Amino acid sequence: MAARSLLICMAMQGEADPIIRALDMRSVPWAFDPHLPFRAFSGRRNGANVTVTVSGIDPRHGVDNIGTQPAALQAYLSIQAFKPDMVISAGTCGGLEGRGFRIGEVVASSGEFLYHDRIVPIPGFEAYGRGHYPAADTEHLARDLGLRTGAVASGNALETSARDLEFFDRHDVAAKEMEAASVAWVCWMLDLPLYALKSITDFIDHPASTAEQFDRNFSAACANLCETVVRAVNWLTHAPA
């Protein structure tokens, strides 16, 4: 069934700007408590409402509110405000050169969303820490859009440790980023389907500095992300024949 209302949760304004322009979206000033930094932009596509929300700027540090903590609150309030029937977590990520991924390649989530840095080796809390929130089925979407799929893992560091790499191997993780598992927790509680589209800005299994790779590849990765998100929105808002 075609989606009637889609919500795209994003962290950085720079990641969202090409999508907001491509989908001809307008700012929605009433969406959030004015004390909060989150911002919303909405438009129409094939008769559906499509909204992008971003985490906004931290006024003390002048940078985007990246990471899992803003992502959870933003997702909950965005869902309350826009009542979507499907949610997409879109943004950039670290990828694995050793598994044949490319810089600027957009990966779709499959399987589950995990936290890779919530390590609590106490019975019960171990699996709780990892999250294991379900990802919506992307098999047909990924096939039609030509995307590779894998688990998406979130944590609160841009840097990657040897322990993280081992975790990604064990859990078949294709994308490392900082928000999706928190959006997945909220969607799981509210029984809403979620998948992620993440464009690779940097290789985490490469000796080059992640921050340098991120800066160098950011605009090209965001351009590819925009193209894929627009195609996914078209795909999701078209009722099957």
Closer to ligand SAH by CB, 181 or 192: give it.
181
Helix locations, 106-198, DSSP H? 125-130, 139-145, 162-170, 180-189
CA angle 18, 198, 44 (to 5 degrees): 45
- Cβ 229 vs Cβ 8: under 8 Å: yes
The reply to whether 112 belongs to the active site is no
- Strand 194-203 and strand 63-64: the pairing is unpaired
**Does 63 contact ligand SAH by CB under 6 A?**
yes
**Does 211 contact ligand SAH by CB under 6 A?**
yes
Return the residues of window 119-148 that contact ligand SAH according to CB under 6 A: none
The reply to whether 215 belongs to the active site is no
**Does 19 contact ligand SAH by CB under 6 A?**
no
Task: Choose the binding region for ligand SAH from 82-90, 129-137, 162-170, 200-208 (rule: CB under 6 A).
Answer: 200-208
Closer to ligand SAH by CB, 53 or 201: give it.
201
**Does 162 contact ligand SAH by CB under 6 A?**
no
Return the residues of window 71-110 that contact ligand SAH according to CB under 6 A: 91-94
Closer to ligand SAH by CB, 49 or 92: give it.
92
CA angle 212, 215, 217 (to 5 degrees): 105
Q: Across the strands, what pairs with 153?
A: 114, 176
CA-CA distance, 231 to 225, in Å (whole number)? 10
**Does 179 contact ligand SAH by CB under 6 A?**
yes
> Please, which residues have CB within 8 angstroms of residue 43's CB and are 6 or more apart in sequence?
23, 24, 25, 26, 49, 50
Closer to ligand SAH by CB, 63 or 239: give it.
63
Residues found near ligand SAH in the complex (CB under 6 A): 11-12, 63-64, 66, 91-94, 158, 176-179, 201-202, 204, 210-211, 214
